[in-house]
Structure 1
Amino acid sequence: MEIFKYKYDELFDPVLEAFHKLGGSGTNQEVEETVIQLLSLTDEEVDDVHRGNTSKLSYRLAWARNYLKRLGLIENSGRALWALTSEGLKTKKIDKEQSKIIVRKLSGTTNNKNRAKKQELSNLIAKSDELNELTWEDELVDILKNIEPDAFERLSQRFLRELGFSNVEVTGKSADGGIDGKGILKIGGVLSFHVVFQCKRYTGSVSSPAIRDFRGAMMGRADKGLFITTGTFTRDAKKEAQRDGATPIDLIDGNDLAEQLRDLRLGVEVQMKEHVIIKPKWFDSI
């Protein structure tokens, strides 16, 4: 049963409005939170999963951003960071049907029913780093979900060391009150933070009670907590992790972990295409 019922084209105007409310630019997360507020979405709608670790809201927002980019209304200056173009700053609402026609033309497709529709989708995905990223992230998260628990703990240990943690120990086998490990993070060679972590291979969503249990186990033993999972976190869990007056807990879900492993080149190889540009005028100056 589908809970989140907004289609990607129904999100065009909310996304544009979100950017205007954010001052003309924003990250994926900021835009998503603003859209949630604008549409008064329930937690059930926000947490409705599309596939793997990606919610229907996040997936359809990615499509909406891709279309708006193709229409010249937004641009991305970096991964997960977007801004309104000069045309976007002047635009508050768009005609959805007209936008579809324009995008089909930009994609080089015709109106030949299913074949054209499939070709349009393929072209759009091929030209969108964000949609491509969702595809390989799902594949990597599926692999992580199927490795042995102790292997996942060793991966988490290696992952934290690569991020700059020292004295990283895995303590999960000692049934240490829900704490799977601990480490020390030193900032600028001066400030040190004692961090405890929990790493779980979940296929579903981590809820707020799990966050509260973890916080209870770490009380008086660390400055911060880190919860790593191959699954996702419900909206309530995210709120609980950063609740005012409580020890803060940082959250890394499956997609976040996949991105970090990509950046650290842990089990992931990134191949870059070489593009050679010849500068004839350079030779004139010899």
Structure 2
Amino acid sequence: MARRKAVTDLPSFDQLMIPTIKALKALGGSGSIEEINTGVYNIAKISEEILQIPHGNGTVNEVDYRLAWSRTYLKKFGLLENSSRGIWALAKADIDTTKLSYIDIVKKVREQDKPVDKKVTNLVEIEHEVAEEIFNSEGWKEKLLNILYNITPAAFERLSQRLLRESGFSQVEVTGKVGDGGIDGKGIVRVSGLLSFHVIFQCKRYKGSVSPSQIRDFRGAMQGRADKGLVITTGTFTREALKEATRDGAPPIDLIDGELLCDKMKELKLGVDIKLIETIEIKNDWFNNL
């Protein structure tokens, strides 16, 4: 990732509030964190270079970290609500962004629950909510990705092979050869048992971002050899790479970044276990009815 640029190049969390509302309105009133953040990038015209600035040593970039603060403040102000499934929505469909002031939002949220001692408690609660959101969405992923960064390239190829098999692909082979245009493997995916598509895939085990030129090179290598292409990385894709992957007139290439890779490993329970903690509650009212 890029080195941290001057603070003035980064929008503050409060400056991202209005773009967050606008992004949600454009999405029809609700959306996932990824959808909202992508909308804000475009509305606020945040450059790719700025998006590569990390927050600390984690996998979250600084802009996304600040967007988490923005959503939490907007929720405290009563403009947003969110579900346990990570979907955020406008509390009201007819929010007029021209009548909103991020300065007023911050001021009113920080003044909630006066007197001063309660104000401090309120700010601690806000920070806790932001930290919890970041941890829930990224904490375990950061740990998992750090492990993946340290396995061998061959092990990562075998993991990708297992991932595709578990996802319903058949005849999945790792075929990586020097000078093979970056093709690491191939497989077949069947749709409804009637149609089949030959897929070749490429594995990129690193922390950086995949560029549009790398997508173009991979597309060139897949020409005439498969129906679809798939790039799997522990890193991210630049916005231009995302556009290149779905460019009109060119064979489409599907992309799996580090975050989606973690989600799929969790879903398929590949090296990731989900443990539910049992809680016991005593119902006092039940005893009163004896």
What interval of TM-score do these two structures reach, taking the shorter chain for normalisation? 0.7 to 0.9
Question: Counterpart of 2:5 in structure 1: which amino acid?
Answer: E
Aligned to 1:12: 17
Aligned pair partner of 2:276 in 257, 272, 276 = 272
Aligned pair partner of 1:261 in 258, 261, 265 = 265
Question: Counterpart of 1:137 in structure 2: which amino acid?
Answer: K
Aligned to 2:43: 38
Number of matched pairs = 275
Aligned to 1:67: 73
2:165 counterpart of 1:164:
no
Provide the rounded CA distance (Å) in 1 between the counterparts of 2:76 and 2:260: 26
Q: 1:67 to 1:260 in 2, by over 3 A?
A: farther
Q: CA offsets, 1:230-275, max 9 Å, x none? A: 1111111111111111111111111211111112111111122335
Q: Contact 2:207/2:235 (CA < 8 Å) preserved in 1? A: yes
Provide the rounded CA distance (Å) in 2 between the counterparts of 1:278 and 1:248: 56
Aligned to 1:209: 213
Q: Contact 1:62/1:131 (CA < 8 Å) preserved in 2? A: no
Q: CA offsets, 1:193-234, max 9 Å, x none? A: 111100111121111111111111111111111101111111
Aligned to 2:59: 53
Aligned to 1:147: 151
Q: 1:121 to 1:80 in 2, by over 3 A?
A: closer
Q: Contact 1:68/1:74 (CA < 8 Å) preserved in 2? A: yes
**RMSD (CA atoms):** 3.0
TM-score (norm: length of structure 2)? 0.83
Aligned to 2:107: 98
Q: Contact 2:74/2:105 (CA < 8 Å) preserved in 1? A: no
The CA deviation at 1:109 is 6.0
The CA deviation at 1:188 is 1.7
Q: 1:12 to 1:167 in 2, by over 3 A?
A: same
SS in 2 for 1:269: coil
Q: Contact 2:199/2:229 (CA < 8 Å) preserved in 1? A: yes
Q: Contact 1:109/1:120 (CA < 8 Å) preserved in 2? A: no
The CA deviation at 1:66 is 2.9
Provide the rounded CA distance (Å) in 2 between the counterparts of 1:217 and 1:99: 56
Provide the rounded CA distance (Å) in 1 between the counterparts of 2:140 and 2:73: 21
2:138 counterpart of 1:134:
yes
Q: Contact 1:28/1:80 (CA < 8 Å) preserved in 2? A: yes
SS in 2 for 1:8: coil
The CA deviation at 1:71 is 3.5
Q: Contact 1:165/1:186 (CA < 8 Å) preserved in 2? A: yes
The CA deviation at 1:145 is 0.5
Q: Contact 1:71/1:102 (CA < 8 Å) preserved in 2? A: no
The unaligned stretches of length 5 or more in structure 2 are none
Q: 1:70 to 1:173 in 2, by over 3 A?
A: farther
Provide the rounded CA distance (Å) in 2 between the counterparts of 1:134 and 1:103: 29
Aligned to 1:85: 91
SS in 2 for 1:133: helix
Provide the rounded CA distance (Å) in 2 between the counterparts of 1:275 and 1:91: 43
Aligned-pair identity in percent equals 50
Provide the rounded CA distance (Å) in 2 between the counterparts of 1:103 and 1:137: 34
SS in 2 for 1:49: coil
Q: Contact 2:73/2:106 (CA < 8 Å) preserved in 1? A: no
Provide the rounded CA distance (Å) in 1 between the counterparts of 2:112 and 2:146: 32
The CA deviation at 1:35 is 1.5
Provide the rounded CA distance (Å) in 1 between the counterparts of 2:112 and 2:266: 31
TM-score (norm: length of structure 1)? 0.84
Q: Contact 2:10/2:63 (CA < 8 Å) preserved in 1? A: no
